[in-house]
Structure 1
């Protein structure tokens, strides 16, 4: 039986999971610097251990609603296509070990236009929707221009 660990986080009133293997670190909320003329899901940039990191608002991406500011906000740094990107979440809850047979597929009608959903698991606290962040970010129309702007900032 194969298993994989997932970081469970809160966005909106939902719980989501991303593979621990794609997570670089989980940081307390950091100061963000806004950039002009970037998509509204990009909250800004921040400095983490000497590196400039773009920070995306996962609630804005998923629900078109900005994240709810609170003391429990975190930034999860993830490795995406050889780049580190931060995602703001309302709270990083826990790390769960999930057996592959415990992952339920989401009905094809639901996922036809949402290819970034990997499945759903049931936990003691409810459902956790598993995300494929690479597919989610690739679906964002302006992600390439953001990467180019980040490269210009760091060179």
Structure 2
């Protein structure tokens, strides 16, 4: 298998409320332990605040709040996954992140037939790896970025 195709099938796996989620590795810059987050006035409810990452101010989105889940406490396993999306640097707060998985495209089920009933369609597919289900998130929809312009 050529490396380029393999890289396109690699996902950083993270947990939210005990469920496994995946995000394409191509967006991921680094994974950081939670440092001090500075709150920002008038930010959307799901924006935790900003962090100082090696001299750069990076906004942090709390995915638990974005998905309207019950809030989970920050633990030693909590991580901020730093993403680079359309030249924008930002972080997503997750319960934990521990691995990178290669998920073959033919093992990812399209969810459009049952997810489109929700107004917030953040899921692009569900991958099956051995006995695990990995919910693949659409990072552009989560962050409300429209590339059609």
Is TM (by shorter chain) over 0.5?
A: yes
C-alpha displacement of 1:108: 1.2
- Residue 15 (structure 2) aligns with: 10
Structure 1 position 122 matched with structure 2 position 128: yes
What are the ranges of 5 or more consecutive residues in structure 1 without an aligned counterpart? 140-155
Q: Could you tell which deviates more after superposition, 1-10 or 94-103?
A: 1-10
Contact 1:57/1:66 (CA < 8 Å) preserved in 2? no
Q: Could you tell which deviates more after superposition, 75-84 or 100-109?
A: 100-109
- Residue 93 (structure 1) aligns with: 98
Q: Could you tell which deviates more after superposition, 3-12 or 122-131?
A: 122-131
Provide TM-score, normalisation by structure 1: 0.81
Root-mean-square deviation over aligned CA pairs? 1.8
- Residue 141 (structure 2) aligns with: 135
Provide TM-score, normalisation by structure 2: 0.84
The 5-angstrom pairing of residues 61-72 of structure 1 reads 61-72=66-77
Count of residues paired in the alignment:
139
What are the ranges of 5 or more consecutive residues in structure 2 without an aligned counterpart? none
| Structure holding more helix per residue | 1
The 5-angstrom pairing of residues 5-154 of structure 1 reads 5-112=10-117, 113-124=119-130, 126-138=132-144
C-alpha displacement of 1:66: 2.8
Distance 1:24 1:64 in 2: 26
